Amino acid sequence: MTEKPFMPKATAVWLVENTKISFKQIAAFCELHELEVKGIADGDVAKGIKAYNPILAGQLTREEIEASSKDVNRPLLLNKKTLEIKSVKKGNKYVPLSKREDRPGGVLWLTKNCPQLSDGQIVKLVGSTKKTVTLIRNKRYWNSSNLSPKDPVISNFCSQADIKAAVEKADRRVVRKQKEIEKQKRKLESENQIKTDEK
């Protein structure tokens, strides 16, 4: 199984808008159907999805895009170097004052694009507070009307690998919760069945 890029639809939107790569190549890279990519180009699919730059995210290199633009039979290859980086335990790094105001935007971006992430995970990724994350998620932040989503990778708060790892962890948690709910549901059903049989 090939590694697919993070946020494949948003990546496809960016590739359609900014490159001369064929729909077939984009579809193969993003693991989408070719007609879906054509729909993105026509404006029928992925309305409202903000384009996600795979070069800034470290998923593709300019050289890779240029090589695939020249040869329609050449598949785009995911830049795995960034994905294979082991997360190193790091202390709080200094964030310049000019970048600190990007934090709420980074929180908003994560809550919109990765809603499965817990408040705690977003706090770790962006370096914000749990209170701020909760307020932004519930649209009660003091400056909500002026907030615009800003990719935390571009703002240099975390790496693409950090977000990917957090999303995978959140997805596992969601699956675990669903299994527990189903288990409790089955238990209640069997208990009700026993009571009905006793009557």
- Quick check: is 82 in a domain? no
Q: Total domain count for the chain?
A: 2
- Quick check: is 106 in a domain? yes
- Quick check: is 89 in a domain? no
Q: Specify the pLDDT at position 2.
A: 52
Q: Are residues 135 and 181 in the same domain?
A: yes
Average pLDDT of the residues in 185-193: 86
Average pLDDT of the residues in 81-93: 50
Range 60-64, long-range pairs (CB < 8 A, 24+ positions): 60/5
3-state secondary structure of 118: coil
Q: Are residues 107 and 173 in the same domain?
A: yes
Percent of the chain exceeding pLDDT 90 equals: 32
pLDDT at 107 over 60: yes
Domain of 175, in residue numbers: 97-198
Q: Are residues 126 and 183 in the same domain?
A: yes
What is d(CA 188, CA 66) in angstroms, rounded to the nearest whole number?
59
What is d(CA 191, CA 179) in angstroms, rounded to the nearest whole number?
18
Token pair 């996600």 is at which residue? 52
- Quick check: is 135 in a domain? yes
Average pLDDT of the residues in 31-54: 86
Q: Are residues 110 and 178 in the same domain?
A: yes
Average pLDDT of the residues in 74-81: 80
Token pair 């970048």 is at which residue? 99
What is d(CA 138, CA 147) in angstroms, rounded to the nearest whole number?
13
Six-digit token pair at 78? Answer: 């995911």
pLDDT at 17 over 50: yes
What is d(CA 179, CA 118) in angstroms, rounded to the nearest whole number?
18
The 10s digit of each residue's pLDDT in 116-156 is 999 999 999 998 899 999 999 998 998 888 888 999 988 88
Q: Are residues 169 and 129 in the same domain?
A: yes
- Quick check: is 91 in a domain? no
Q: Are residues 66 and 106 in the same domain?
A: no
Q: Is the pTM of this model over 0.85?
A: no
Six-digit token pair at 44? Answer: 């029928």
- Quick check: is 90 in a domain? no
Helix residue ranges, H only, the chain: 8-18, 23-30, 34-42, 62-70, 97-100, 103-113, 119-126, 130-137, 160-198
Confidence of residue 114 (pLDDT cuts 50, 70, 90): very high
- Quick check: is 174 in a domain? yes
